[in-house]
Amino acid sequence: MLLVLLLWAAGLGAAAQFGKISILYDPLRATYGGHGEVALGLVVSIVGMVGLIFGTTAGLLVARIGPRRAIVTALAAGAAMSALQSLMPAYPLMLASRVIEGASHLAIVVVGPTMIAALAPEHRRPLAMTLWSSFFGVTYTILALIGPHLTPTGLFLGHAAYMAALAAILSRTLPPDPKGQALPMTNLLAQHAAIYASPRLAAPAMGFCCYTFLYVAVLTLLPPETPETHRALIAAGMPLVSIAVSLTLGVQLLKRMSAVRIVQLGYLIAIPGFLLLWTFWGQGAGMVAGGFLLSAALGIVQGASFASIPELNATPENRARAAGAVAQLGNLGTTTGTPVLAALLASAGPTGLAAAAVLLCGLGIGVHQLQARRRAQRAD
């Protein structure tokens, strides 16, 4: 399991490629704020845009060049970009470094679950995949604790050193890339279509998109709407509840049920959480209860979504393609969820937000049901 932990550590570094800018948003305004708020926001979001555009292509590319080469190169590139960012370069150069960092991030989040699924023993694979799924929440918690005590230069250089060390360690410890028939990189449009037409390759990503649409949005929108006496509790508690439930109850459920069924169960449990929020909107204790319930439920969805990749796809090549689709649709949900739900909250109040959230939970259940039916028909 040492290699699994090292790959998870690489995931923490990838998540920090987002989180370090979020933590430093106000200090960076002093340097880049003159370009406008939209330009400053682009420094944060452009990493996700790379994944949104090239996620599935990255899955194909990783399957072609080999996972070890891909992740070591990505970590080294990430280290170089963080070192460059520590110099607080001119805005165009900072933005260019973030684009390269987006490609680095994408390669890591495609390779990570693919290699963990291959390296983890069968009886520990559910735990390993659930551990991987926690990398964003754990990273943001760590950064929230240490970020305020570091200067931008210190945080960028610390991240660079972390990524460089992992690149060196993984280059020596990961097994060599297998030699075999590489997936062709011609006719990428047709290959994208084939991935999303497959009920095995596309199902994890389609279910995960609903999760990212909801989870990032509620973490952003709920704390400001919660009474001040309970605001810190819901802001800090929701991600911790999600991680804890995923690594405990979620792992135990994966030993007894299919990952797909657990994703559906998580969405089903999240519905009462959103209804609880709607009922007690503006009341601190009620909002905390609803937020914790839906965080626990979505934590189950998070871990089981990654566990469904190896459950539905047997070969490393197909797992890489499925992980690329997860990265792509996950970024679609992350990018669109907060602005859409914020607009609904502003125009229709908590009723609009709750109705949309329940609809998305139903969609997450329904899309997996449809894909399971398609898989059954193909097996006949």
Structural domain spans, the chain: 1-185, 191-380
Task: Name the pTM for this structure.
Answer: 0.81
What count of other Cβ atoms lies within 10 Å of the Cβ of residue 48?
23
DSSP 250: I
Closest CA to 50 of 15, 100, 94: 100
Cα–Cα distance for residue pair 90/346, rounded to 1 Å: 36
| pLDDT tens by residue, 37-49 | 677 767 777 777 7
Amino acid identity of 129?
Answer: M
Cα–Cα distance for residue pair 133/111, rounded to 1 Å: 13
Closest CA to 286 of 363, 354, 345: 354
Would you say the C-alpha torsion 128, 142, 110, 72 has a positive or negative sign? negative
Cα–Cα distance for residue pair 56/190, rounded to 1 Å: 12
Closest CA to 365 of 323, 318, 304: 304
pLDDT computed for residue 185 by the predictor: 54
| pLDDT, average across residues 324-328 | 84
Fold agreement (1-185, 191-380): yes
The answer to whether the beta carbons of residues 109 and 75 sit under 8 Å apart is no
| pLDDT, average across residues 232-246 | 86
The answer to whether the beta carbons of residues 302 and 246 sit under 8 Å apart is yes
**Whole-number Cα distances in Å, 107 to 8, 51, 77, 102:** 14, 9, 11, 9
* Residue 188: pLDDT band with limits 50, 70, 90: low
Q: Which of 118-127, 235-244, 286-295, 339-348 has the highest mean pLDDT?
A: 286-295
- State which H helix or E strand residue 155 sits in: helix 152-173
* Residue 379: pLDDT band with limits 50, 70, 90: low
Would you say the C-alpha torsion 108, 111, 113, 116 has a positive or negative sign? negative
| pLDDT, average across residues 228-257 | 88
The answer to whether the beta carbons of residues 94 and 67 sit under 8 Å apart is no
Let me know how many helices (H) and strands (E) the chain has, helices first: 15, 0
In order, the DSSP letters of 10-31 are HHHHHHHHHHHHHHTHHHHHHH
Cα–Cα distance for residue pair 104/73, rounded to 1 Å: 8
Please provide the CATH number assigned to the domain covering 191-380.
1.20.1250.20
- Lowest average pLDDT, out of 22-26, 85-89, 219-223, goes to 22-26
More confident residue, 36 or 32: 32
| pLDDT, average across residues 304-315 | 90
The answer to whether the beta carbons of residues 32 and 90 sit under 8 Å apart is no
Closest CA to 336 of 41, 48, 55, 20: 48
Q: For residue 315, is pLDDT > 50?
A: yes
Closest CA to 212 of 112, 362, 334, 355: 334
Amino acid identity of 299?
Answer: G
DSSP 148: G
Structural tokens at position 109: 């989040």
Between 1.20.1250.20, 2.30.30.90, 3.40.50.300, 1.10.3720.10, what CATH number should domain 1-185 receive? 1.20.1250.20
Q: For residue 336, is pLDDT > 70?
A: yes
- E strands, 253-347, in order: none
